[in-house]
Amino acid sequence: MKLQAITDNFQEANVEALAVAVFKDEKPSSGFLKELDTLIGGHISSIIKTDEFKGESGDTAYFLFEPNGKGKASRLLLIGAGDRESYNASEIAVLAGTAARNLRKRNIKSFALAARSDGDAADAATNAATGVIASHFELDKYKTDDKNDKKIDTFVLYVESGDAKDLKDALTRGEIIGDSMNFTRDLANEPPNVLHPTEMAKRAEKMAKEVGLKCEILDESKMEKLGMGSLLSVSKGSAQPAKFIVLRYEPKKSTGKKGELLALVGKGITFDTGGISIKPAEGMDAMKYDMSGGATVIGTMRAIGLLKPTVPVLGIVAAVENMPGSAATRPSDIVTASNGKTVEILNTDAEGRLVLADAVVYAEKQGATRIVDMATLTGAVIIALGDLNTAVLGNDQDLINEIIECGKEMGENFWQLPIGKEYSKAIKSDIADIKNIGGGRKAGTIIGAVFIQEFIKDAKWAHLDIAGTAWSDDAKPHRSKGPTAVAVRTLLKLVEKSQ
């Protein structure tokens, strides 16, 4: 896609359509909107007088008009931007995505967007490009017919002022972020017969080569040598061997504090049948996305490789298939993790925490001082927060606050749940150090987190339970249904701020 930024002559952009953000209750009585209103013969004033378009976010209105001789555009799309006061950069991504999806449907290939933010123009450009690119993701990869292949080929962003080079760079950053989100979503969307642990590792390796990251894949014998009995217990029932994916980004010149290393750790269960504690048939197909946390790590690392921040980042994915084969782990088995702790496995469907246990131990052994893990860990988080907030828990309030703050900036919601000694009591085992489930159904998301905490030594740690937010059951005006690439943008912001 061609991405371009302009600072004047919006109406004369060389595109088929103009898209314009309109605020709630905004009247085209002066300035920018008035000029457009005149251009299209007063239709903006007319529609604003009706109930059809109020500038609420989600509102759209579409007009055809005679080009005025200067520009070639003959279509205008108004997009509601909601309250002017709360309008921020991340909303520009939604707005740009909404415009792109709307115009693609009409077979339009090029458009210019007036996002109308008074904030930083480069920020607006990054978000607009992210939104337009991310809005192109479709679920139809495996359709042989009836594909949605209508694409925008030229996107022009209009901002009031800004340095041309800065804006160009900002658009490129947005393109990298949008492409990396779509890369994440493609991984999450793959069927589990295609994307087993070996394939997930291959995709990570190929990506690493393309963007210049170091990549190391540990096989099961290496994992055994490292004593990863907890992770390997999950893989036992599967014909597919587990793969432990390690991605490393090291900047040429680091500006971070010496010795500081951020690790992103993802649950990569390529399919979760539940194992011997097998899941009911209904809805089991959704468990192909049980590797979304891992996909987020790989996609975020892709963006990091291309954006080249000045701090090092370690990316780790425990890629494992949870199947009930004859060699599978049984409820009541006891295994030893790589930090020496023994775990009584009472439910083989609580497998995410088992693979993350060895993954966070590895991260810390590699020098990680801050660890953020991402996992579709518990059904309980869907009951608690639905699909609107990702749960965040951890041992360091500053890190948690930073994640919540970065999320706000990027339009992703995180909500903190507590942890603590009283909760940790629930996973004490009678015959091993700990067990992998609590007593009953109480505080399921917290129990999952405190289990992982048992494997953190000194690092600052935050856990993101994305079971409710990694997949969207319905399409939105700015994105298709399916995998959401949740947390990619927030994590990139976190990395950016650690520079």
352 touches ligand BES by CB under 6 A: yes
Contact with ligand BES (CB under 6 A): which of 71, 227, 379, 411?
A: 379
**Residue number with the smallest Cβ distance to Zn ion:** 272
Of residues 259-288, which lie at the interface with ligand BES (CB under 6 A)? Answer: 272, 286
Q: Which tokens in the block code for residue 208?
A: 């690493």
Q: Strands 434-435 and 342-344: what pairing?
A: parallel
Distance of CA 314 to the CA centre of its chain: 17
Residue from 288, 353, 370, 460 carrying the catalytic annotation: 353
272 touches Mn ion by CB under 5 A: yes
Of residues 134-163, which lie at the interface with ligand BES (CB under 6 A)? Answer: none
> What's the min distance (Å) between Cβ of 194 and ligand BES?
19
Helix (H) or strand (E) holding 272: strand 262-272
Q: From the list Mn ion, ligand BES, Zn ion, none, which binds 402 (C-beta under 5 to 8 Å, kind-based)?
A: none
324 touches ligand BES by CB under 6 A: no
Q: Which SS3 state, helix, strand or coil, does residue 284 take?
A: helix
Q: What is the number of H-type helices and E-type strands within the chain?
A: 15, 19
For residue 74, which amino acid is it?
Answer: S
Residue where the block lists tokens 């205008």: 76
412 touches Mn ion by CB under 5 A: no
Residue from 24, 54, 279, 408 carrying the catalytic annotation: 279
User: Taking contact as CB under 5 A, which single stretch among the options 311-319, 347-355, 406-414, 471-479 is the one that binds Zn ion?
Assistant: 347-355
> What's the min distance (Å) between Cβ of 267 and Zn ion?
7
Contact with ligand BES (CB under 6 A): which of 321, 349, 373, 412?
A: 349
Of residues 339-378, which lie at the interface with Mn ion (CB under 5 A)? Answer: 349, 351
Choose between 347 and 413: whose C-beta lies nearer to Mn ion: 347
> What's the min distance (Å) between Cβ of 288 and Mn ion?
13
Indicate if the alpha-carbon torsion angle 190, 193, 195, 197 is positive or negative.
Answer: positive
Residue 346 and residue 358: Cα distance in Å, rounded? 18
Spell out where 362-433 has E strands.
370-375, 390-394, 414-416
Choose between 350 and 419: whose C-beta lies nearer to ligand BES: 350
Q: Which tokens in the block code for residue 168?
A: 């160009």
Of residues 400-459, which lie at the interface with ligand BES (CB under 6 A)? Answer: 437, 444
User: Taking contact as CB under 6 A, which single stretch among the options 12-20, 378-386, 476-484, 491-499 is the one that binds ligand BES?
Assistant: 378-386
Q: Around 72, how many Cα atoms within 13 Å sit in the side-chain half-sphere?
A: 6
Under 8 Å between Cβ of 157 and 228: no
Size of the site for ligand BES (CB under 6 A): 16
Q: Around 461, how many Cα atoms within 13 Å sit in the side-chain half-sphere?
A: 26
Q: Which SS3 state, helix, strand or coil, does residue 10 take?
A: helix
Contact with Zn ion (CB under 5 A): which of 272, 344, 402, 412?
A: 272
Q: Which SS3 state, helix, strand or coil, does residue 249 take?
A: strand
Of 360, 357, 372, the C-alpha closest to 494 is 372
Under 8 Å between Cβ of 108 and 75: yes
Is 353 assigned a catalytic role?
A: yes
Q: From the list ligand BES, Zn ion, Mn ion, none, which binds 380 (C-beta under 5 to 8 Å, kind-based)?
A: ligand BES
Residue 418 and residue 12: Cα distance in Å, rounded? 54
378 touches ligand BES by CB under 6 A: yes
Q: Which SS3 state, helix, strand or coil, does residue 382 take?
A: helix
> What's the min distance (Å) between Cβ of 379 and ligand BES?
3
> What's the min distance (Å) between Cβ of 374 and Zn ion?
13
Radius of gyration of the chain (CA): 24
User: Taking contact as CB under 5 A, which single stretch among the options 72-80, 105-113, 220-228, 267-275 is the one that binds Mn ion?
Assistant: 267-275
> What's the min distance (Å) between Cβ of 359 and ligand BES?
15
Residue 176 and residue 161: Cα distance in Å, rounded? 23
Distances (CA, A) of 49 to 20, 25, 163, 388: 18, 10, 38, 33
> What's the min distance (Å) between Cβ of 349 and Mn ion?
4
**Binding mask of the shown chain, residues 281 to 320, with x at each position contacting ligand BES by CB under 6 A:** -----x---x------------------------------
Please list, residue by residue across 172-200, b when 16 or more beta carbons sit within 10 angstroms of its beta carbon and e when fewer do.
bbbbbbbbbbbbbbbbbbbebeebbbbbb
Is 106 assigned a catalytic role?
A: no
Choose between 352 and 394: whose C-beta lies nearer to Zn ion: 352
Choose between 130 and 270: whose C-beta lies nearer to Zn ion: 270
Report the 10 Å Cβ neighbour count for 118.
9
**Which residues are known catalytic residues?**
279, 353
Residues that bind Zn ion (CB under 5 A): 269, 272, 290, 352
Residues that bind Mn ion (CB under 5 A): 272, 349, 351
Residues that bind ligand BES (CB under 6 A): 272, 286, 290, 347, 349-352, 376-380, 437, 444, 467
